[in-house]
Amino acid sequence: MEKWIRARYLPGIPLGKDGKRVTAGKENIVLSRRAAGEGMVLLKNQGVLPLRHGCRVALFGKASADYVKGGGGSGDVTVAYVRDMFDGMIEVMGEEAVYPGTMKYYRNYVAAQYEDHWVPGMVAEPPVPEVLLQEAREFTDTAVISISRFSGEDWDRKSDRAKITRKDPVTGDAVSMSDVLFERGDFYLSDAERTMVETVSQAFDKVIVVLNTGGMMETACFRNNPRIQGLLLAFQGGMEGACAAAELLAGVTCPSGKLPDTLAENLDDYPGCVDFYDSDTYVNYTEDIYVGYRYFETIAGAAEKVVYPFGFGLSYTRFSLSEQQVSFTEDEVEVRVKVTNDGGCPGREVVQVYFSAPQGLLGKPAKELAGYRKTKLLAPGETEEIAIRFPLSQMASYDDLGKVVRSARVLEKGEYRFFIGTSVRDGAWAEETWILAEDRVTEQLTARMVPTNLEKRLRADGSYEELPTAPCNDFNYTALAPMTPEVLFANPETRAIPRISHFAPKDGMKLKDVAEGKMTLEAFVAALPAEDLAALLGGQPNVGLANTFGYGNNPVYGIPNIMTADGPAGIRFHKNIGVTTTAFPCSTLLAASWDPELCGEVGTAVAQEAKENNIMVWLAPGVNIHRNPLCGRNFEYYSEDPLLAGKQAAGLVRGVQSEHIAATPKHFALNNKETNRRNCDARVSERAIREIYLRQFEIVVKEAHPWSLMSSYNIVNGHRASEYKDMLTGILREEWGFDGMVTTDWWTLGEHYKEVAAGNDMKMATGFPERLLEALEKGVLTREEMEKAAINVLRLILRID
């Protein structure tokens, strides 16, 4: 097939068997449902699950009819349908097994709320009519309560009563979404929800709660309530996630998900919540490397605040770990363990290995995830031997203050211990330890992204150490006259900017000459006029089904217009286009599967849907850290742990790019708050940046080799992320060896010429070629810098079929 035929002609050729489309096809929907079931986490089961064969159930809670498939904003997916819990339970158990009264009540109520412009997941909980409660109790002794949560791009979850608004990215106007009626905020149950749960749990002998949420929320109220015997964390499972939950409840499938986050009792128990709303212009990451379980398992008094620990998840069967062995080579640790299914049904288990490094001079978390492996589906009595390997250097800490060796990754002398289990708490310490006699530098680096306004950071003993500070307002400096908002947010479809060269190509050269090996990419770019270079470094108009613009678009030089699409729960098209796609589970659920191969299957399926619709670049996965439960976009991200996030996302990227479609990990970096995200400064130590907030990106880059990457809107230690050369060139390219293209997020406030100089190759959704040419003329941008960016853009295009 001719290269770039889909970009040039938009043929929309089906990729399925017998000429059928794969987009929103049966196979992908089945995969979405299977993936949902693999990641849902059973948190509590006091003999009530799985539901016995032939039993009947009554469903309560508006979420039974108001299933939230995923979050809002660019992470949304337009689908043909969404199944709710009533659909799922009826399909799995039979219509006669589900009490019809509440189904009619909740569906009518939700439909009326939608007509009143509410959105899924934001509908308030109605009271339970007494007559329905009595009828349901006569119908069955088993109740299933569903509770849902919704959040989205450009706004954060709230901790008290508030009106949720967002700003239109183009006009800047505030757009109201809805009133939040959760008096204590949506981390906690609302008063209405609490009343409903109490009413139902008092009326039924057997009560199960299903949490349909993309982010963390309170669970202590369910753990501590003896009248609630079952608790399933179902996350947001895509278009058929409710059916996957029903299959788990009924025992059609066996739960195998494990928590990718620590579930604490109160919102204030998370250290990142302390000053989350103190300012819209900055966030102080004073907890430093002590994020998630690193905090709860290390800091004195924090452990007792945990309701369910990181890595935890129940099953319907029992597993035993035996014959554990830890061995060492000169540069690697290997852990071997046999996993046996000792129960009565097939199931899967996740073996997790944690290490504990000596405190030394730098201080360390009590435990850190070193590796993990999920078993195959084990039949009762079946055993599988698991091997988990990781480099010794992975246990090194970064010394940013020179306590051992400045700007180096260091293994401090002492004893290194290894914990093998099925969660951060369920397991045992191995007898074998690794002892290091002298400090060892595993990698000498250069100080980069050093904070200037972070005054202190947490230490392992619970005290704080002071950090040096200095003023930094790098993002305020501009060598050219500032652009007006009208120009900055102008639609690339209507902007009058040069797109096609007025110069005849040198020797008639075309980009296909590079693809065919007739000339080098460097020579091709060197021959381009400055005007064409400038136009190449900005977003291009939409064609076909696309609504997020494209890259390339210079027909004179044979450069195709490569289209992009949002993610990460599937390919996102606007509703008015009329094309529906498959909505896969949210990223947090995929992380909870602890299965990179499953993520790879999802990535492959999404890439096929992209290719079939002439989309060549998928703007996913999102891999930012779950620093705080309130981040409105946590559903798009994987975990509080960078190793888990990185490994799972790497699996997804490999799947996407196996179909010659580009993946785009985002948002690089520290985009952990949506409020005022374009002007909020993340103030973070260099150690926390390297060990926590860049670590998952590093894993993805080194293991999956993504062809593109997206920088974030926010400011990091006084520098706009899209203009931060230390991060984009120093760390990403020089240290990690990234050879892909970096794009900005859409409509960033960064200066285009400063972004290009920093190593940010593409400005989206529109570039400003006239600004680049002006900067080139004034000497604040070089031709060499523009050529480097153009080479990265064209290399991406050359990789796509």
Cβ–Cβ contacts within 10 Å for residue 95, how many? Answer: 11
**Measuring CA to CA, how many Å separate 144 from each of 51, 52, 63, 128, 207?**
11, 14, 11, 14, 6
Spatial distance between the Cα atoms of 370 and 394, rounded to a whole number of angstroms = 8
Phi-psi region of 722 (alpha: psi -120 to 50; beta: other; left: phi over 0): alpha
Q: Which amino acid is at 258?
A: K
Taking the CA atoms of 271, 272, 276 and 282 in sequence, report the sign of the dihedral they define.
positive
Spatial distance between the Cα atoms of 343 and 351, rounded to a whole number of angstroms = 17
Angle at 623 between CA 720 and CA 78, to 5 degrees: 105
Q: Which amino acid is at 571?
A: I
CA 700 to chain centre: 13
Spatial distance between the Cα atoms of 295 and 366, rounded to a whole number of angstroms = 9
- Picking from 719, 709, 713, the residue whose alpha carbon sits closest to that of residue 684 is 719
Contact between 40 and 589 (Cβ < 8 Å):
yes
Contact between 384 and 319 (Cβ < 8 Å):
no
- 801 is an active site residue: no
- Give burial (CB, 10 Å; 0-12/13-18/19+) of 132: middle
What the block records as the tokens of 85 is 């819990």
Rounded to 5 degrees, what are φ and ψ at 736? Answer: -90, -15
**Per-position DSSP letters for 556-623, written without gaps between them:** GGTEEEEEEEE-SSS-B--GGG------PPPHHHHHHTT-HHHHHHHHHHHHHHHHHTT--EEE--B-
Catalytic residue among 268, 745, 761, 801: 745
Spatial distance between the Cα atoms of 739 and 521, rounded to a whole number of angstroms = 14
Show the DSSP H helices in 317-471 as ranges: none
Cis peptide before 505 (omega within 30 of 0): no
DSSP β-ladder status, 440-444 and 408-411: antiparallel
Contact between 619 and 59 (Cβ < 8 Å):
no
What the block records as the tokens of 627 is 């620093």
Spatial distance between the Cα atoms of 37 and 79, rounded to a whole number of angstroms = 19
Order the strands of the 282-284 sheet from edge to edge. Answer: 282-284, 681-683, 715-716, 719-720
Helices (H) and strands (E) in the chain, counts: 22, 32
**Measuring CA to CA, how many Å separate 398 from each of 2, 157, 414, 445, 463?**
48, 33, 17, 9, 19
What the block records as the tokens of 544 is 């076909």
- Give burial (CB, 10 Å; 0-12/13-18/19+) of 358: middle
Taking the CA atoms of 378, 384, 389 and 395 in sequence, report the sign of the dihedral they define.
positive
Cβ–Cβ contacts within 10 Å for residue 323, how many? Answer: 10
Contact between 667 and 626 (Cβ < 8 Å):
no
> Which residues, 6 or more positions from 539, have their beta carbon under 8 angstroms from its beta carbon?
492, 549, 550, 551, 762, 763, 764, 765, 766, 767
Spatial distance between the Cα atoms of 298 and 444, rounded to a whole number of angstroms = 27
Q: Which amino acid is at 79?
A: V
Spatial distance between the Cα atoms of 208 and 86, rounded to a whole number of angstroms = 15
Catalytic site positions: 745
